[in-house]
């Protein structure tokens, strides 16, 4: 039974739509064109906004925050340019745009790809050649001067990094991309701001309001209590999770580098600030926000302070704000966490379909590398088959490489299920990809070796990790051909999994590790710069010459993108199911779809392999076609025969 006061509160509390209309009235905009649609959306997503807020805050604080967010919605919507409102209407008719098989992603630093934002616009043709429909430009907002973690230490969310151009250039680029069928993603760094951000500057100057934007402690007692259960993200160059700051006269929570100050998301002011920033960026024409380091937003004593349920409440509220005011905006969660937690970022239980639309599939990435090193796909299958289904309206962002290192997130229980030890396998993978194993094909570097846990992560470009660098070093042509096939096999898994495949800049040209970062004082201490090369446009010019390395690899990824676009069975509403075959070296990924089943087979080894044809399921061999254009594998004695590193997408003719 609800208490009488609660009943009164429930019946008298205004809904989000009423709050929005009241805010529009105050702004003199309650009769503007499009208000009906806005209010319809407020009725549709208002309950989400409320549910998100009330998952984190209680009583009057929650009521107040709901009202403030409704105000943010109203002002954000008033400021939304008409072409973007038109885009909203279009996207609402195609809410699955990012799930469609013809979605192909490309990820680059604007400066490293093309110098400036207008430079990026000049290379739209190149992106189109690759079938790109989604472009993620790595951090481009104004960072702090000096070291800034590749832009992940933001000093101003409303300005573009000077060297790249201006906000007006960003708007212009977004519009050029839209005209070319490409959606724009940028990073929204939510967990922390730069020590030089005006909020942090005000906190350092002693402003109580802004001190409460951060997690500050007068002495070590509370930090020490937290540290007992906190992991370290950068044990080598930023050990610990707290930094003493003389100006603040206290310890600041700094999960990442000492100049990246974690925000206090328990403060409703912080929530409002980011709701406002979200709409500000959406109104510049950004289509997707990559929610950087989102797993870390909420801290809880006695835990690792990652993946706390409040994170999902906060995402739900922010997403509802965007859905109402700028519904073409989607969210992509960057949560590099274990399999059990990962799916929660797309929504599990009460949050299903109410949080991020996209999330990085970190497990798939790690498992592909593991399968290539071991020539064994069983661990991949074991790890992925345990994944709960994701909401049908969401999609994975699949990838082989990105601007970050590879953390060997192999679950101990998964490893045990194939008879391996988790710690030993993780140690094996970091040694292997370092190139520190007698028969390793890789050339990587160890990143953030943690003496305490023995963990060591890996830096390196895809081409260097699959063996291209080694083959070129020794000048061995068959070895190079093998490395190219290995890269094709890996990228075919990424492109064939459904969701958005993210091609990381340079992989399409088989760019090797770039060690020039060692001569740049700002980057020399961070080995991730080894795989953040500058685009060599002279090498890119060889991309149409099939006799060159660049030409071969470019054609491989271009073709994967083109084929994927033609296959309805790759729509992300349907799950990919990796399944064991009769041979550990052969991975099968099965997609059951109303448009027809698709069975993908990947030989993760350099030898010929066979596997029982039963894996074809409902498909009949006589009617098979390989959509990737290779010959359909022949059958001998009930076994499919697959050449080295075969990658084949089989469907009915």
Show which residues are catalytic. Answer: 292, 334
Q: Are residues 252 and 261 in contact, defined by beta-carbon separation less than 8 angstroms?
A: yes
HEC assignment per residue over 593-604: CCCCCEEEEEEC
Distance separating alpha carbons of residues 179 and 466, to the nearest angstrom: 36
Specify the residue, 403 or 425, whose C-beta has the smaller distance to ligand GLC.
403
In whole angstroms, how close is the CB of 223 to ligand GLC at the nearest point? 19
Which residue, 143 or 268, is less far from ligand GLC as judged by CB? 143
Biggest alpha carbon distance in the chain?
A: 82
3-state SS, residue 45? helix
Q: Which is nearer to ligand GLC, 278 or 576 (CB)?
A: 278
Binding site for ligand GLC (CB under 6 A): 149-150, 152, 189, 256, 292-293, 334, 403-404
Q: Please provide residue 466's backbone torsions phi and psi, each rounded to the nearest 5 degrees.
A: -90, -5
CA torsion sign for 402, 404, 405, 408 is negative
Angle between helix 309-325 and helix 268-282 axes, rounded to 10 deg: 40
| Locus of tokens 């000077």 | 162
Shortest distance (Å) from residue 476 CB to ligand GLC: 34
Taking the CA atoms of residue 540, residue 544, residue 550 and residue 556 in that order, the dihedral angle to the nearest 10 degrees is: 120
CB of 149 to ligand GLC, least distance (A): 5
Q: How far is the CB of 189 from ligand GLC (least distance, A)?
A: 6
Whole-angstrom distance, CA of residue 336 vs CA of residue 47: 29
In the complex, least distance from residue 290 CB atom to ligand GLC, rounded to whole angstroms: 8
Of the two residues 369 and 441, which places its CB atom closer to ligand GLC in the complex?
369
Helix 477-496 vs helix 362-374: crossing angle, to nearest 10: 150
The helix/strand count (H/E) of the chain reads as 24, 25
| Chain-centre distance for alpha carbon 565 | 21
What gap in Å lies between CA 225 and CA 221, rounded to an integer?
6
Q: Is 281 in contact with 188 (CB distance < 8 Å)? A: yes
Residue nearest to ligand GLC (CB): 152
DSSP lists the bridge partners of residue 331 as: 289
335: three-class secondary structure by DSSP: coil
Residue 65 or 138: which CB sits closer to ligand GLC?
138
- CA 44 centroid distance within chain: 27
DSSP 24-38: HHHTT-TTSTTHHHH
* Structure tokens given for 341: 């937690």
Cβ proximity to ligand GLC: between 256 and 399 the closer is 256
Q: Toward ligand GLC, which CB reaches closer, 150 or 223?
A: 150
Tell the smallest beta-carbon distance from residue 293 to ligand GLC (Å).
4
* CB 256 to ligand GLC: min, Å: 4
User: 3-state DSSP call for residue 149?
Assistant: helix
Smallest gap, in angstroms, from Cβ of residue 292 to ligand GLC?
5
- Closest to ligand GLC by CB, 334 vs 514, is 334
């Amino acid at each position: 039974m609800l208490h009488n006061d609660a009943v009164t509160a429930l019946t008298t509390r205004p809904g989000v739509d009423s709050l929005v209309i009241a805010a529009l009235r105050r702004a003199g905009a309650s009769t503007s064109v499009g208000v009906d649609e806005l209010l319809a959306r407020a009725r549709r997503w208002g309950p989400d906004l409320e549910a998100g807020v009330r998952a984190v805050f209680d009583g009057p604080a929650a009521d107040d925050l709901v009202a403030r967010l409704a105000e943010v919605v109203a002002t954000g919507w008033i400021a939304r340019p008409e072409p973007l409102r038109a885009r909203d209407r279009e996207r609402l008719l195609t809410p699955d745009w990012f799930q469609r098989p013809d979605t192909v992603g490309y990820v680059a630093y604007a400066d490293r790809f093309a110098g400036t934002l207008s430079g990026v616009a000049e290379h739209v043709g190149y992106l189109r050649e690759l079938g790109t429909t989604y472009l993620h430009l790595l951090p481009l907002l104004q960072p702090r001067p000096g070291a800034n973690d590749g832009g992940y230490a933001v000093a101003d969310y409303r300005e573009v990094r000077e060297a790249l151009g201006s906000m007006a250039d960003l708007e212009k680029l977004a519009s050029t991309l839209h005209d070319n069928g490409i959606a724009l993603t940028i990073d929204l760094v939510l967990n922390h701001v730069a020590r030089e951000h005006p909020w942090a500057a005000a906190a350092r100057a002693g402003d109580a309001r802004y001190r409460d934007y951060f997690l500050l402690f007068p002495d070590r007692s509370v930090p020490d209590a937290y540290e007992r259960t906190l992991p370290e993200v950068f044990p080598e160059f930023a050990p610990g999770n707290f930094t003493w700051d003389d100006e603040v006269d206290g310890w600041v929570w700094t999960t990442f580098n000492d100049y990246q100050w974690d925000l206090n998301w328990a403060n409703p002011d912080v929530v409002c600030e980011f709701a406002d920033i979200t709409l500000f960026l959406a109104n510049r024409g950004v289509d997707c926000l990559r929610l950087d380091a989102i797993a870390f937003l909420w801290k809880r004593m006695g835990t690792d302070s990652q993946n706390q349920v409040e994170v999902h409440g906060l995402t739900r509220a922010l997403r509802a704000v965007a859905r109402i005011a700028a519904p073409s905006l989607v969210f992509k969660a960057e949560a590099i966490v274990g399999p059990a937690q990962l799916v929660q970022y797309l929504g599990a239980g009460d949050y299903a379909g109410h949080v991020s639309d996209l999330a990085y599939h970190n497990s798939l990435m790690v498992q592909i590398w593991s399968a290539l090193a071991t020539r064994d796909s069983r661990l991949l299958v074991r790890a992925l088959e345990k994944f709960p289904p994701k909401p049908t309206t969401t999609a994975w962002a699949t990838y082989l490489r990105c601007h970050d290192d590879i953390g060997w997130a192999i679950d101990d229980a998964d490893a045990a299920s194939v008879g391996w030890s988790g710690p030993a396998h993780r140690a094996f993978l970091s040694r292997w990809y370092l190139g520190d194993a007698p028969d390793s094909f890789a050339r990587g570097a160890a990143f953030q070796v943690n003496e305490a846990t023995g963990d060591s992560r890996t830096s390196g470009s895809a081409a260097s990790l699959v063996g291209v660098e080694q083959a070129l070093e020794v000048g061995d042509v068959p070895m190079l051909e093998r490395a190219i096939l290995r890269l094709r096999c890996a990228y075919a898994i990424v492109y064939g999994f459904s969701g958005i495949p993210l091609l990381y800049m340079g992989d399409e040209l088989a760019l090797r590790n770039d060690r020039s970062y060692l001569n740049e004082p700002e980057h020399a201490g961070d080995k991730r710069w080894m795989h953040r090369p500058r685009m060599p446009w002279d090498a890119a010019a060889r991309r149409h010459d099939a006799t060159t390395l660049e030409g071969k690899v470019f054609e491989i990824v271009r073709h994967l993108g083109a084929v994927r676009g033609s296959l309805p069975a790759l729509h992300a509403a349907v799950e990919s199911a990796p399944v064991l075959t009769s041979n550990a070296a052969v991975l099968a990924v099965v997609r059951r779809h109303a448009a027809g089943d698709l069975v993908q087979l990947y030989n993760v080894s350099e030898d010929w392999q066979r596997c029982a044809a039963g894996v074809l399921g409902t498909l009949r061999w006589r009617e098979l076609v390989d959509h990737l254009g290779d010959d359909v594998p022949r059958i001998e004695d009930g076994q499919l025969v697959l050449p080295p590193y075969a990658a084949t997408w089989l469907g009915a003719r």
